C-alpha cells in the first residue's frame, strides 16, 4: 500500500551515522509510476558529459534509487552505462519489498535489486545515484536532509541526480549534486512537446517547483528562457533544433551560466549552474 508522503525527522536524515542502514529503510513508499524509456534523457546525459565520472571511478557502483513498480528503467540504466564501462554494477533500490521480489528474476552479473531507502543499503560508495520522481512526493522542507544523506554516501567524484519527468519522458529536469553541494539544473525536452520552454516548470524538482514565483531566481530564469525562445523565432524556419541552439546562445551571451555547448543543446538539453536558480526568496 502506498503511504502518503510524510515529514521525515531531520536527525534521521543527517547522513552522519549508519543508523538508517541498521534498521528500517529511510523514506516512504512512493506511487511507483514508471514506463520503459522514461529516463532516456537523463541517461543520455550520464553517458555523455558525465561519463568521465564512471570511467575514472575506483569502484563502478551505481544506484537507481526508487525505480518504481517495475524495474524497467533500472535495467535500461545498467545496459546504457555498460556501454561506458563494461564492469559497471547497478543496484536498484526500492523501499517496497514486493517490488524488489518482482525484480529479482531480472538480476544478472552487474545488476542487483535490494530493499532500502535513502540510506542506500549497498556495500561501498556509489559513483552515481539516480533518484527520479522520488523526492517530489516529499515535503520541500525534507529535501536538504535527504540530499545530505545521499551525498554523504557518494564516492569521491560521485554525483547524485534528483530529477522529475512526465509520464513518457518528454519533459525532464534534474538537479546534479556532488558530495558537497548542488552543481547544476538541467532541462531536457522533446521538440514539439511545448509552446514555451517554461512549460517544463510543472516538472521541476521538489527543491524548485514551489519557487517559481516573482523574486526567485528560477522564476527569472524561466522568464529569460521564454524571452530568448521568442526572440529566436526567425530560426524556426530551420527547425526547432536550431531555434533551441539559438536560445541557448542568447542566454549564455546574456550572462546566464549555461554549460556544455551545441552538441548537447541540439538534443533539446540545457544545463545551467545552480547559482542561477538557487532558492533564496524569503517572502514579503
Band (pLDDT 50/70/90 cuts) for residue 24 is confident
Mean pLDDT in residue range 130-144: 94
- Reported as type and span, the H/E element at residue 159 is strand 159-165
Mean pLDDT in residue range 139-163: 97
Mean pLDDT in residue range 239-243: 97
Band (pLDDT 50/70/90 cuts) for residue 8 is low
What's the pLDDT score for residue 281? 60
Band (pLDDT 50/70/90 cuts) for residue 36 is confident
Give the chain's length.
Answer: 284
Mean pLDDT in residue range 40-64: 98
Instruction: Look at 214-218, 253-257, 277-281 and tell me which has the smallest mean pLDDT.
Output: 277-281
Q: What is the pTM of this model?
A: 0.90
Mean pLDDT in residue range 4-14: 44
User: Residue 238, exposed/middle/buried by CB under 10 A (0-12, 13-18, 19+)?
Assistant: exposed
CB neighbourhood size of 264 (10 A): 21
**Structural domains of the chain in order of their starting residue, each with its CATH number:** 10-206 (3.40.50), 211-266 (no CATH)
Amino acid at each position: 500500500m502506498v503511504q502518503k508522503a510524510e515529514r521525515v525527522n531531520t536527525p534521521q536524515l543527517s547522513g552522519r551515522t549508519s543508523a538508517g542502514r541498521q534498521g528500517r529503510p529511510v523514506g516512504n513508499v512512493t506511487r511507483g509510476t514508471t514506463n520503459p524509456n522514461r529516463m532516456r534523457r537523463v541517461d543520455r546525459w550520464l553517458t555523455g558529459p558525465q561519463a568521465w565520472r564512471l570511467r575514472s571511478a575506483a569502484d563502478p557502483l551505481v544506484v537507481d534509487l526508487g525505480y518504481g513498480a517495475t524495474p524497467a528503467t533500472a535495467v535500461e540504466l545498467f545496459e546504457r552505462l555498460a556501454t561506458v564501462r563494461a564492469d559497471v554494477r547497478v543496484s536498484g533500490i526500492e523501499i517496497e519489498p514486493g517490488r524488489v521480489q518482482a525484480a529479482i528474476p531480472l538480476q544478472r552479473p552487474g545488476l542487483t535489486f535490494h530493499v532500502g531507502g535513502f540510506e542506500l543499503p549497498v556495500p561501498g560508495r556509489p559513483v552515481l545515484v539516480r533518484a527520479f520522481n522520488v523526492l517530489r512526493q516529499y515535503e520541500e522542507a525534507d529535501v536538504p536532509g535527504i540530499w545530505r544523506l545521499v551525498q554523504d554516501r557518494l564516492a569521491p567524484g560521485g554525483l547524485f541526480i534528483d530529477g522529475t519527468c512526465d509520464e513518457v519522458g518528454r519533459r525532464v529536469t534534474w538537479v546534479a549534486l556532488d558530495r558537497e553541494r548542488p552543481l547544476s539544473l538541467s532541462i531536457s525536452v522533446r521538440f514539439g512537446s511545448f509552446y514555451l520552454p517554461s512549460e517544463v516548470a510543472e516538472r521541476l524538482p521538489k527543491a524548485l517547483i514551489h519557487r517559481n514565483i516573482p523574486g526567485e531566481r528560477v522564476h527569472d530564469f524561466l522568464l529569460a528562457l521564454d524571452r530568448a525562445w521568442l526572440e529566436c523565432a526567425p530560426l524556426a524556419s530551420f527547425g526547432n533544433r536550431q531555434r533551441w541552439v539559438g536560445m541557448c546562445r542568447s542566454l549564455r551571451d546574456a550572462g546566464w551560466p549555461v554549460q556544455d555547448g551545441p552538441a548537447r543543446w541540439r538534443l533539446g538539453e540545457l544545463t545551467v549552474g545552480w547559482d542561477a536558480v538557487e532558492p533564496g526568496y524569503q517572502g514579503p
